Amino acid sequence: MWQRWEHLLFLHWDYDPAAVQATLPTGLTVDTFDGRAYVGVVPFFMCGVRPRGFPTVPWLSNFLELNVRTYVRDASGRPGVWFYSLDCDQPVAVRIARTFFALPYFDAAMSARRSGEQIHYACKRSGAAAGCSLEYGPTGIAAPAESGSLEEFLVERYRLFSARRGRLFTGCVWHPPYEIARSAFSGDAIEPLRQAGFPTGGRQPVHAAFSRGVQVKIFAPSAVR
C-alpha cells in the first residue's frame, strides 16, 4: 500500500523496562535507550491511503489516527514498534487493519483542524468515558534526527509487530527519514496512555517532536518464525 503520514506529533514518556515487558507477547523484548523504555502517543493525519495500483478514494483514503506504542525487538534482534492501540475515525480502515494486519484498531470520534502551522486535534474512542485534546505545532527548524540520539531511536522505526491467537506477525514500512522539529503542545494525552495501562502520575512527556510528514510504502505482513 501507499499512504502519507502528515502533521505528526510524537509525545513520549519513559518507564521502567520491566513494566513495559510485562505487557508484551511472547517473542518480543522491550527495546531500551540508556536503560529506559518509552511509550509514545502519536496523533497524525493519514492521507492518500490506497493499495498499489489503485487510485485514492476521497471518503476512504483520508482520515485521522492516534496510536499508542512502544519499542521492541524480536528473537532475531530486529527492532520495531508494538502498538497498544490505534484509534481511527474511518470504520472501513479499522476493519481492514484488524482483518489483514492483526492490529488493535478502534473506532473513535476524532476531529482536527489546522491554523497555520498549529494543529487542533481531539480523539475519543467509542465507548470510552473520556478522550484527549491537543494543540501542537513546530517551534524550530526541521532536520533529520541525529544518528545515535534518543530521537532517532524513537521515530526511525521501519518494522511493526502484531499478534493474533498466540501467533506473532511482522510487517515492514519504508519512508525517507523524518524531518523533525521541536514541538510545543498544550492539552494532554493522559487518556490514551491510561487505556493502554500506563498512568503518567502527572509527569510531562520527556520527548515532544513534530514532523510535517513522509510518503510511506507499506508491505504485507508475514508470520514471525
Sketch the domain layout of the chain as residue ranges. 2-156+176-215
Q: Which architecture characterizes domain 2-156+176-215 according to CATH?
A: Beta Barrel (2.40)
Query: 90-138: per-residue pLDDT in tens?
Result: 999 999 899 888 999 999 999 999 999 999 999 999 999 999 999 999 9
Residue 83, phi-psi category: left (phi > 0), alpha (psi -120 to 50), beta (remainder)? beta
Query: 40-90: per-residue pLDDT in tens?
Result: 999 999 999 988 877 777 778 899 999 999 999 999 999 999 999 999 999
Output the 3-class SS for 125-187. ECCCCCCEEEEEEECCCCECCCCCCHHHHHHCCCEEEEEECCEEEEEEEECCCCCEEEEEEEE
Query: 199-223: per-residue pLDDT in tens?
Result: 888 899 999 999 999 999 999 899 9
Beta strands in the chain (DSSP E): 2-15, 28-30, 37-50, 63-74, 79-88, 105-115, 118-125, 132-138, 159-164, 167-174, 180-188, 207-218, 222-223
Query: From CA 108, how far away is CA 193, in angstroms rounded?
Result: 15
Question: Which pTM was predicted?
Answer: 0.95
